[in-house]
Amino acid sequence: MSSDLRSSPPPSRLGRVGSAAAGLSSVGSVLLGRSARAVSKLRGSGGSAFPGLVVEKIDPHFLARTLRRLPRGVIVVSGTNGKTTTTKMVVELLRGQGLKVFTNRSGSNFTRGVVASIVGEVRLNGRLDADIAVLELDEAHAVHFVKAVRPDHSLLLNVMRDQLDRFGEIDTTAGMLRAIAQHTDQGVVLNREDPRVRAIAHSLENQRVDYFGLSESLLSHFPSDDDFHAGPAAAADRPDADVVLEELTEGGGRFTLDGETITTTLTVNGAYNTFNAAAALAVVRQALGETVDSAALIASLAKVSPAFGRGESLTVQGRSLDLVLVKNPSGFRLGLSSFASSGVATMIAINDNYADGRDMSWLWDVEFSSLAEEGVRMISGVRAYDMALRLKYDDVDFDAVEPDLQAALTRFLDDNPGQPARIFCTYTAMLALRKQLSAYTEVEAF
């Protein structure tokens, strides 16, 4: 962004400008948003949603008007787990098809974050220089968003226990995803293996519905929350899927796309990310229809790099260090089953800040026995002792408990020199650890 806008009025005056300017043009909205952005950068607040807030208050139709002008429309990605990685995959797949793609990359996955991203990229005439938008939307805010901007396609990944302290119940979250689907104009892509997501199809009338799914043999690798307590559901009523992940291969997967089998490696780690790839393929195929170039699709897929903290592998002091974000039981279970623990030094860091979820109950819905053989070298985070108790009751040994993340990471690296390392961490613990790791290695900015 250019710096000539930094001589803007302070935020206290922006409020007054806003209330007096009901019928602003897009040009005005863009300038105003950019001013707010410049101001918030100058103040060092770093909050990427602030400029969005200013524009949204003044010109609530800005978002809809700008996105509606895109020739290939808007794709929305939502669900509990895997939004960020899958959104990134969809973006890369579309770029590989030669399209200009707008996305909310700042990680601020709320409506205002989207507005803020647009303000940063839009031309002064209010047009985005893009063919299509791919937006990652948090479930709760997505409903508000789709009422303002009806997407052309939506990709709904899963409904799992996550931040129940925010939404109350899983069925409430499922209702939010259903609302997204109902506000989608053309097509919806659903996870066939998640019963709550699959059921959304029953409440749709006009939209095309496609599915992505797993082969029978892989179902047990991806247990849902229900399966954890009751075993996998009968497969009888599962519809045909457009894209199926047939098999996990070394560093990738074998997929069936509408009957055609392809095998590819992936740059992102973890079985769940391979399943996310199936989701991304399915929505791109739906959005582009027959014009899709399959060979280019596969080539793009192999190159997608991990999103911030999702299946990310760093090199620290000459050894590999994997950061695995865990935020709910199913994600933690998948994280544990996706990576072998033998020969790897493991650390677990559990915080309970608002963004992590305050309730620690979820740790008791994860089984940790796969760590029993190697044990855990370090437990850290605000709720380190909750985690330590959890491991104790699963007979998993650990060497040390140090709630202070900085001290814990230093000791973990020092005590396990040269050994491949893996850190399972909640969201805010990951933010802190990445900041510290940037002293040792190149860490992609967030």
Partner 1 sequence: MTGAAKPIHVLQLYPRDMNIYGDFGNALVLTRRLQWRGYEPILHSYDPEDEFPEEVDLLIGGGGQDSGQDKIQQDLLRLGDRLHELTERNTPMLMICGLYQLFGHSFRTREGREIKGIGVLDLHTEGTDTRLIGNVVAESGQFGEILGYENHSGQTYLGEGVQPLARVTKGEGNNARDSHEGARYKNVLGSYLHGSLLPKNPAIADFLIATAVQNRYGEDVQPAIEPAGSAQPIDELTRQARMHATKRPR
Residue numbers at the binding site for partner 1 (CB under 8 A) = 161, 164-165, 168-171, 229-230, 329, 352, 358-365, 382-386, 388-395, 397-401, 403
Closer Cβ to partner 1, 385 or 446, answer by number: 385
Cα–Cα distance, 333 to 366 (Å, whole number): 6
DSSP sequence for 16-74: HHHHH-TT--HHHHHHHHHHHHHHHHHTT---TTHHHHHHHHH-TTHHHHHHHT-TT-E
The answer to whether residues 89 and 276 touch, using CB atoms and an 8 Å cutoff, is yes
Q: What are phi and psi of 430, to 5 degrees?
A: -65, -40
In whole angstroms, the minimum distance from the beta carbon of 45 to partner 1 comes to 22
- State the nearest-atom distance from the C-beta of 215 to partner 1, in Å: 26
172/186 with CB nearer partner 1: 172
Residue whose CB is less far from partner 1, 84 or 351: 351
**What's the closest the beta carbon of residue 361 comes to partner 1, in angstroms?**
3
DSSP three-state, residue 436:
helix
Cβ proximity to partner 1: between 121 and 399 the closer is 399
Closer of 171 and 216 to partner 1 (Cβ): 171
Considering the complex, state which of residue 104 and residue 428 has its C-beta at the smaller distance from partner 1.
428
Q: Do the strands 398-402 and 421-425 form a parallel or antiparallel pair, or are they unpaired?
A: unpaired
Quote the tokens at residue 58.
């003044």
Q: Which residues pair with 380 in a beta bridge?
A: 349, 402
Shortest Å, Cβ 192 to partner 1: 21
CA proximity to 425, closest of 350, 362, 353? 350
CB of 400 to partner 1, least distance (A): 7
Cα 442 to Cα 268, 367, 436, distances in angstroms:
17, 33, 11
Report the residue number, 263 or 361, with the smaller CB distance to partner 1. Answer: 361
Cα–Cα dist 399/347, whole Å: 10
Provide CB contacts within 8 A for 410, sequence distance 6+: none
Distance CA 170, CA 40 (A): 36
Distance of closest approach, residue 395 Cβ to partner 1, in angstroms: 7
CB of 362 to partner 1, least distance (A): 6
User: What residues contact residue 116 under an 8 Å CB cut-off, 6+ apart?
Assistant: 33, 37, 48, 49, 50, 51, 52, 55, 106, 108
Q: Which of 199, 201, 198 is nearest to 213 (CA)?
A: 198
**CB-nearer residue toward partner 1: 47 or 403:** 403
Nearer Cβ to partner 1, position 52 or 329?
Answer: 329
Contacts of 389 (CB under 8 A, 6+ apart): none
Of 185 and 386, nearer to partner 1 (C-beta) is: 386
* Contact criterion met (CB below 8 Å) for 43 and 35: no
CB of 424 to partner 1, least distance (A): 17
Closest separation in Å from C-beta 425 to partner 1: 17
Cβ 233 to partner 1 shortest distance, Å = 12
